[in-house]
A = this chain, B = another copy of it.
Amino acid sequence: MSSPTRLVVLGAVHQFQPVHGYFLRRELLTWRVDEWANIQPGSIYNALRSLEKDGYVAVSGTEQNGKRPERTTYEVTPTGEVALLRMLRETLWKVDPFDTQAAMVLSSFMFILSREEVIAGLQHRITEIDAVVVTNRYHIEDTAQSSTTPKYVREIFELSTARLSAEQTWARELVERLQGGAYFFSGESGGTPAVAAPPDEPSAESAG
């Protein structure tokens, strides 16, 4: 039961921990996660509780900034780190012809894996897509032959093929960029970090 929501929230907690729900809500909205992964604010709080129930994240404390409402801050547990890697790997290596969110989620969190694994996974996707495209071609032929299958089913497979080819081209270019040293991955040091601002106040000098 690893919905994109849980993976995105777990990955975000991993990157910004210790972090509270409202920060994630703002940060993920700047990522436009509501558009490409259909994650609305309310779902984030639910995902946090759900991940907590599974022991993947734990409450690390409660803060209060002045007399603002109290915040509950979360951290990823060791179990959660393992689960995060497992979920990411599954997203990287499993090709679902109709799952168009997987690649978006990957783009956001691939840095948690190593550069080598991501490149290998992408190359696997590329060949895997070749196979699916061939399968689609036979589906289209079958549809043309069959008298009971609605003819327009062809269109769904044509579109699926077109989309997958597009993803394949993108994956090829991304592999090239990654082999050329683009971005920074787990275990690599130096350069601009791939992540955004730290979890502290975006515009406050509170720490003093």
Mark A residues whose CB is within 8 Å of B: 31, 35-36, 97-98, 100, 103-104, 107-108, 110-111, 148-153, 155-156, 158-160, 162-163, 165-167, 169-170, 173-174, 183, 192, 194-197
> A174 with B155: in contact, given A98-B36, A100-B163, A166-B166 (CB under 8 Å)?
yes
The copy count of this chain in the complex is 2
Which residues of chain B are within 8 angstroms of A98 by Cβ–Cβ distance? Answer: 35-36
Q: Which one of B97, B165, B173 lies within 8 Å of A166 (CB-CB)?
A: B165
21 examples of A-B residue contacts, CB within 8 angstroms: A31-B153, A35-B97, A35-B98, A36-B98, A36-B156, A100-B100, A103-B159, A104-B156, A107-B155, A107-B156, A108-B152, A110-B152, A150-B194, A151-B192, A152-B183, A155-B170, A158-B170, A158-B173, A162-B167, A162-B169, A166-B166
